[in-house]
């Protein structure tokens, strides 16, 4: 069973009531599966489930952070 450790909850810019949740999930795909960072996007913060989510394995986090920094420069 997956366990969740919440890391941060941030407001979702451009929405009245949206949020971004960042968490670490242990065994997200069943017993023995590697942990992942999870990013959930909620268009309405009162929803129980995110409208979008992404799971990022530890080995990919640095590359995703670098790509997001480059994307930020383009905005």
Tell me the two tokens of residue 57: 């394995």
Q: Provide the pLDDT confidence category of residue 2 given band limits of 50, 70 and 90.
A: confident
| pLDDT score at 28 | 92
| pLDDT score at 36 | 97
Q: What is the phi/psi pair of residue 65, to 5°?
A: -60, -45
Say whether pLDDT at 68 is over 80.
yes
Q: CA 45 → CA 7, 14, 17, 31, distances in Å?
A: 16, 13, 6, 30
How many CB atoms are located within 10 Å of the residue 36 CB?
Answer: 21
Say whether pLDDT at 34 is over 80.
yes
pTM score = 0.89
Tell me the two tokens of residue 14: 């451009």
Rounded-to-integer distance, Cα 19 and Cα 31, Å: 29
């Amino acid at each position: 069973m997956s366990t969740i450790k919440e890391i941060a909850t941030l407001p979702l810019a451009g929405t009245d009531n949206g949020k971004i949740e960042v968490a670490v999930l242990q065994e997200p795909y069943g017993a023995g599966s590697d942990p992942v960072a999870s990013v959930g996007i909620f268009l309405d913060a009162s929803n129980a489930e995110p409208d979008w989510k992404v799971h990022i394995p530890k080995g990919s986090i640095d590359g995703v952070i670098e790509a997001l920094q480059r994307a930020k420069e383009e905005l």
